[in-house]
């Protein structure tokens, strides 16, 4: 049985068409009906949504594997807790801050608590169910908090961490989102961030960076003599699993950000996004392996995992317009960024437990800037030049950094002077699991140290 | 780029419509054709089915993480074995008991072995493929057995356990299902259980409760002096992973129980179910964390995991009609039930290794009763009052408890007097893995104890 | 609420229709429009594709769990690396070798580097988006390499392994695929291999077998006195998780190999494939458990896991035409093959770390031959007899074995005489993780040995 009978005509007869025709608009036997399109659009949000929800498990496993075993239970609890809090906060106020409709473009336009609205509505005019859209946006919200969780692991108390998450997911992240996806000032300038290299990943990265600086490094991490003590992750297969989960979830993250698959053009775009997303990650992995092999004579597996994630973050700002080769390149550069900036953070004595700042912030900035080379926005009827687009992308990066940085700093400081952020040094050394959770992660396994 | 252009009009212009219009019925350009609806309905069953199948992995990981490491291999084998047995038994007789068509309403109407029927049929009149429906029902069947597996872990021999599973999945569960989903007497009374808080989760919970009582507690669990000895789970990240897997699978469990997405109304309902399911779980998590923090000054991670599951079980009886706020509340009460009933079972010396009885039975009962406040059935053309509905729900709970309790007790007793259910105390103390499986879960890791 | 109102009429009233009518072709209200079919076909490739991608995680966890902990990080890195390399190589040349269109049928027809073609095309005439097809084919490619990875684990250096993967996924596998799915000589003969028992699994199995022979057994595995030393896997729950992941992914592997769900007949077929795939795996599990229990008085969990996989591999060559009972039988025989051939390999001193040769090669051959009893091809307008089909299937098996065996042997030998394939005995005994990766998998857990 030949498996791909269409392929012969499509690929080999040179009949490739590059344009994405909107067949849905065509009348006649090929048309997609309004009701069918509505169902398919809604289905995209649901599939994308459950894949992104699954990323919460990915972050949990990645972080559980990369912390020391005395803090693993805490990391598990932080992750399931933050995902839950993010959903609740997005319901209470986040969604309405993020998508305010007509507003001044910066803050505001908040149209009242979300619970006064009905997610159960079916309105054929919108083209998809409100609940499906809401679900998809909601699951994005937790990602930002997961990033912070990884960076400041092993030395932040549970309650202040959850309070930070509450503000981050309920207010800070939604405001940033409103600037672009909510039709705010960045959108008006022509800023472009398809699935959130900046809005999601850099936002989390900035909050993590500020947190790492204010909270300080783990006790004993940076010796008085300038020596960096490595605290190796306690469970590499779990971290590997987490990375694969995130990779899988990213098809939903990027793919469903097309926001529609009710037309031939849209579904073709979604599938192209799948390809580009996968290949950028592959580029990040291979680059990380090669670079660590060359540099250290060993192919560091945690670098390969972070290389995959950096590739994914890099392509997130624009997974549609690049061709496959460009996507691989974008991801590969993301992977290289990780290999070179992880040691840099250690030089600066910024203690990032899982490498989330290189992955989500640095690769996120790279991905956002790289957009300019692949697509240019139209502003007031005029298409930006590459240089102009690059400038606008940089403004978006900077605006996010300034706002998230300041807002995060205020919250972290406020927590520090009130509840206190760090546990006692004694608690930290014996591990947060016993003190804060009361449940050891691996109570039966004897420790080497 | 604004990300959600429709949202402005849909949510902010106040044009929300609450009703779920059946657009499919509308003629003209918006209509969904019969063939398209058939494909979409079938697709829902397939996606829902593979998500529910994935829950088998979730139970396996949850239980593997919560038992002691000397019994972990056994727990892995029990879980992959029970999922396989459940599928085979559902094929041999279960499906035809569960969905007998016209029958007396209690037992019977069995129309012959299933293997004489053809799952490959495509009949446009049914609106979906027979195989897809069969697949979806089949994967539900294993859930009940997974619940039992967790409760009676660490002290039941493999062969009698598998025999119990054979009867439970082949006969007991299908009979309960026939009462409601198979159009039996509970359905006729107006009992309502959308995706199975009672039919699936309580059924498993009753079988587990009876098993725990008859089999008895693990050796050394309850001291002669009344002291409860805690046997902590050996691998918390695995248990966390299992919980996330179950959470993900639950979108299929509840969402695809809508049984159709070939109309605009149906797909909108499915997406609303996604939202409510997620938010109930989030409510369960946050409640568990807060309550354990307040009560024990520590936020027990296993309670948070069970809080998530209890939230999910609670919303399963009616994930469609509640609004988001009610769903959160229903899930939160489920989480509270877990926190307060786990210690209660220990007082009664009922040894439930993973907390499955609080999660699946107690929260299942709660969820089933809570239906009455959100939806009322129509019986003989008259809509029940809330009180009447509550009564009917209670009858369903009681009928299931009496039947499953007695049937399970008979099987457990029969196994006890024939094969014997428990291993020798020596075997139990050295762990089931060596004696029954011959494969240790972690042969290289030194034990602390 | 009755749950399955359609069922009464469909299954109980005897109205089952066995044929798969192509409703899409029907005019009128039931028709599926061309655009809708295009979207649904594309969606099948995307869902199937992400499920098969997820199998990469399954292989990673299976292998990480079955090797000794001193080689676990290496196994994680090999798996994420090989998946990435496979994708890149499939892009560089693999896809165009595999699907060359009109060619001599054996090798060639290569139409130029793939990166010169555009995956973003939307051409309604093909019935699906090119990118979605490409994505689905690409994810298959890595499976072959994962099989090799498991067999030759614990004694192959990283760089030569990755070089082997590069050739295997870029050249060897695509050539085999071209013979059948690319309309080559096996296809012309009537060879039938629906989703790749031979093309994918046996190809990987042959490469693994040749690798195991040339590379040799792990040091100390086979004593001078003929004694077989068991090196037990270090983490059984991870291996269990890996198996469940693979099982889930297989719904995409087999189901989406239908290549279309834009008609009522196609989607019905996909759902029937889901059922058969699941039941074959269940048959493999139960058979393995029963046979090991009878033979060894213990139900070996790793045999049950491999039994599931063998059932899945066995049904992969023809998951559509068998009825459910036949599917269970096909899977059960696959499970039996594993139980009896794992010890056989040890007698031959062929060291297969995870049992991949019995699972993927032996069960793959069985599944390929079993096709003849369930379906017969039409060649030049004449339908083959069962005996003729069996002969053609055997030719396909043999051709693949000869080509892959020789090609693999050449590459393994070339690597051996140039880079060297094996690490030093000292490195092997201390574990590859420290020497090659620099990251231990479980640095904190004390070892028993």
Of residues A251, A259, B132, B164, the one with CA closest to residue C266: B132
Report the alpha-carbon distance of residue B287 to residue B308 in Å, rounded.
9
pLDDT digits (tens, 9 = 90+) for C209-221: 999 999 999 999 9
Q: How far apart are CA B216 and CA B207, in angstroms?
A: 14
What part of C 385-404 touches A (C-beta under 8 Å)? none
For residue A162 the two structure tokens come to: 């959850």
C8 touches chain B (CB under 8 A): yes
- Nearest residue on chain C to A236, alpha-carbon basis: C441
Partners of B57 on chain A (C-beta within 8 Å) are none
- Kindly report the average pLDDT of chain C as a whole number: 91
> Each residue of A220-266: pLDDT tens digit?
999 988 899 999 999 999 999 999 999 999 999 999 999 999 999 99
The answer to whether the CB atoms of A278 and C138 lie below 8 A apart is yes
- Asked if the model's pLDDT at residue A23 lies above 60, the reply is no
Report CB contact under 8 Å: B323, A72: no
Q: Is B87 on the interface with C (CB under 8 A)?
A: yes
The confidence score (pLDDT) of residue B119 equals 75
Q: How much of chain B is in helix, strand and coil states, percent to nearest 5?
A: 70, 0, 30
Q: Which residues of B touch C40 (CB under 8 A)?
A: 39, 43
**Interchain contact B29–A (C-beta under 8 A):** yes
Q: How far apart are CA A124 and CA A114, in angstroms?
A: 21
pLDDT tens profile B194-209: 999 999 999 999 999 9
Q: Which residues in chain B have their CB less than 8 angstroms from residue A442's CB? A: 234-236
- Cβ contacts of C302 on chain B, cutoff 8 Å: 439
CA distance to partner chain C, nearest, from residue A73 (Å): 15
Q: Cβ–Cβ of C183/A8 closer than 8 Å?
A: yes
CA angle A441–A446–A448, rounded 5-degree value = 110
Question: Where does the pLDDT of residue A16 fall: very low under 50, low under 70, confident under 90, or very high at 90 and above?
Answer: very low
Question: 3-state DSSP helix/strand/coil percent for chain C, to nearest 5?
Answer: 70, 0, 30
Residues of B numbered 63-82 whose beta carbons fall under 8 angstroms of chain A's beta carbons: which are they?
68-69
Q: Which of B24, B275, B298, B446 to mutate to test the interface with A (most CBs of A within 10 A)?
A: B275
B vs C, Cβ pairs < 8 A, gives 284
| Mean pLDDT, range C268-288, rounded to an integer | 97
Closest Cβ opposite residue B33 in set C7, C31, C265: C31
Residue A424 C-alpha, separation from nearest chain B C-alpha, in angstroms: 16
CB-based burial, B127-139: b 16+ in 10 Å, e otherwise: bbbbbbbbbbbbb
CB contact under 8 A, B122 and C264: yes
pLDDT in the model for residue A117: 63
Give me B343's structure tokens. Answer: 């210690």
B264 touches chain A (CB under 8 A): yes
A332 CB within 8 Å of a chain C CB: no
What's residue B3's pLDDT?
55
Contact C3 B259 (CB under 8 A): yes
Number of neighbouring beta carbons within 10 Å of residue C92: 17
- The pLDDT of residue C335: 98
Contacts of C441 in chain A (CB under 8 A): 235-237
The whole-number pLDDT of residue C115 equals: 56
In angstroms, the CA B86 to CA C401 distance is 37
Residue of B236, B439, B440 to mutate when probing chain C, most C C-beta within 10 A: B439
Structure ipTM = 0.94
A62 shares contact with chain C (CB less than 8 Å): no
Q: B-chain residues within 8 Å CB-CB of C68?
A: 444
Q: Higher pLDDT residue, C79 or A118?
A: C79
Mean of per-residue pLDDT scores for chain A: 91
Position A12 scores a pLDDT of: 28
pLDDT in tens, A290-339: 999 999 999 999 999 999 999 999 999 999 999 999 999 999 999 999 99
pLDDT of C204 higher than 70: yes
Nearest CA in chain C to A37: C36
Task: Examine the pLDDT at C70 and tell me if it is beyond 90.
Answer: yes
Q: Tell me how many residue pairs between chain A and chain B have CB atoms under 8 A apart.
A: 287
- Band (pLDDT 50/70/90 cuts) for residue C30 is confident
Tell me the pLDDT band of C23, cut-offs 50, 70 and 90: very low
pLDDT band at A3 (very low <50, low <70, confident <90, very high): low
- Token readout for C279 is 């039941």
Q: How far does the CA of residue C180 sit from the closest CA of chain A (Å)?
A: 6
Q: Determine contact: C300 vs chain B, CB below 8 A.
A: yes
Q: Does C194 touch chain A (CB under 8 A)?
A: yes
Task: Tell me the nearest-neighbour CA distance from B60 into chain A, angstroms.
Answer: 16
Q: How far from C46 is each of A275, C33, C43, CA to CA, in Å?
A: 10, 20, 5
Which of B449, B435, B369, B363 has the alpha carbon at shortest distance from B158? B435
> Is there a contact between A80 and A60 (Cβ–Cβ < 8 Å)?
yes
In angstroms, what separates the C-alpha of B152 from chain C's closest C-alpha? 19
Instruction: Kindly state whether C231 is in contact with chain B, defined as any CB-CB distance less than 8 angstroms.
Output: no
Please judge whether B445 and C448 are an interchain contact, meaning their C-beta atoms are less than 8 angstroms apart.
yes
Q: In the numeric block, which tokens belong to residue B225?
A: 């002096």
Contact status of B247 with chain C (Cβ, < 8 Å) = no
Query: How sure is the predictor about A113, in pLDDT bands with cuts at 50, 70 and 90?
Result: low
CB-closest option in C21, C29, C274 to B122: C21
Chain A residue with CA closest to B13: the answer is A101
Kindly report, residue by residue over A391-446, the tens digit of the pLDDT.
Answer: 999 999 999 999 999 999 999 999 999 999 999 999 999 999 999 999 999 999 98
Residue C266 and residue C289 in contact, taking contact as beta carbons nearer than 8 Å: no
Disruptive mutation site among C247, C299, C321 for chain B (greatest number of B CBs within 10 Å):
C299
Span C269-276, average pLDDT: 97
Measured between beta carbons, the chain C residues lying within 8 angstroms of B134 are: 275
CB contact under 8 A, C181 and A47: no
pLDDT at C182 over 70: yes
Q: Greater confidence, B303 or C31?
A: B303
> What is the pLDDT tens value at each position of chain B, 449 positions in all?
555 433 333 332 222 232 333 333 344 668 899 999 999 999 999 999 999 999 999 999 999 999 999 999 999 999 999 999 999 999 998 988 898 877 777 776 666 655 556 677 777 778 999 999 999 999 999 999 999 999 999 999 999 999 999 999 999 999 999 999 998 999 999 999 999 999 999 999 999 999 999 999 999 999 988 899 999 999 999 999 999 999 999 999 999 999 999 999 999 999 999 999 999 999 999 999 999 999 999 999 999 999 999 999 999 999 999 999 999 999 999 999 999 999 999 999 999 999 999 999 999 999 999 999 999 999 999 999 999 999 999 999 999 999 999 999 999 999 999 999 999 999 999 999 999 999 999 999 988 86
- CB-nearest to C4 from B60, B99, B439 is B99
């Amino acid at each position: 049985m030949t498996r791909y009978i269409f392929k012969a005509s499509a690929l080999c007869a040179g009949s490739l068409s590059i344009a994405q025709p909107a067949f849905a608009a065509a009348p006649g036997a090929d048309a997609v009906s309004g009701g069918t399109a509505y169902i398919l659009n809604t289905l995209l949000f649901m599939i994308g949504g459950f894949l992104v929800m699954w990323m919460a498990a990915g972050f949990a496993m990645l972080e559980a594997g990369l912390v020391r075993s005395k803090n693993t239970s805490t990391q598990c609890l932080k992750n399931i807790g933050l995902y839950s809090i993010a959903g609740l906060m997005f319901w209470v106020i986040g969604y309405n801050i993020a998508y305010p409709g007509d507003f001044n473009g910066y803050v505001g336009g908040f149209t009242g608590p979300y619970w006064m609205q009905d997610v159960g509505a079916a309105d054929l005019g919108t083209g998809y169910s409100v609940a499906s859209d809401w679900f998809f946006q909601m699951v994005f919200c937790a990602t930002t908090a997961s990033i912070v969780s990884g960076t400041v692991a092993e030395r932040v108390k549970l309650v202040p961490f959850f309070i930070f998450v509450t503000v981050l997911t309920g207010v800070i992240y939604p405001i940033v989102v409103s600037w672009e996806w909510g039709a705010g000032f960045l959108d008006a300038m022509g800023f472009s961030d398809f699935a959130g290299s900046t809005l999601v990943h850099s936002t989390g990265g900035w909050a993590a960076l500020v947190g790492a600086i204010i909270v300080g490094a783990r006790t004993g991490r940076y010796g008085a003599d300038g020596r960096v003590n490595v605290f190796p992750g306690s469970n590499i297969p779990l971290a590997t699993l987490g990375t694969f989960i995130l990779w899988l979830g990213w098809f939903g993250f990027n793919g469903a950000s097309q926001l529609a698959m009710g037309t031939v053009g849209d579904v073709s775009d979604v599938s192209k996004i799948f390809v580009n997303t996968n290949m950028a990650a592959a580029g990040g992995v291979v680059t990380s392996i090669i670079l660590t092999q060359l540099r250290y004579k060993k192919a560091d597996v945690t670098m390969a995992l972070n290389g995959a994630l950096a590739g994914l973050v890099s392509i997130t700002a624009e997974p549609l317009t690049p061709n496959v080769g460009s996507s691989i390149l974008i991801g590969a550069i993301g992977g290289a960024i990780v290999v070179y900036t992880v040691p840099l953070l250690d030089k600066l004595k910024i203690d990032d437990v899982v490498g989330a700042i290189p992955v989500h912030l640095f690769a996120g900035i790279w991905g956002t800037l790289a957009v300019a080379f692949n697509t240019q926005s139209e502003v007031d009827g005029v298409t930006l030049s590459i240089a102009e687009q690059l400038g606008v992308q940089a403004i978006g990066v900077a605006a996010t950094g300034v706002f998230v940085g300041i807002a995060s700093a205020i919250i972290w400081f406020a927590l520090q002077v009130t509840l206190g952020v760090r546990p006692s040094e004694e608690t930290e050394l014996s591990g947060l699991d016993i003190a804060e959770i009361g449940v050891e992660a691996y109570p039966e396994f004897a420790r080497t140290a």
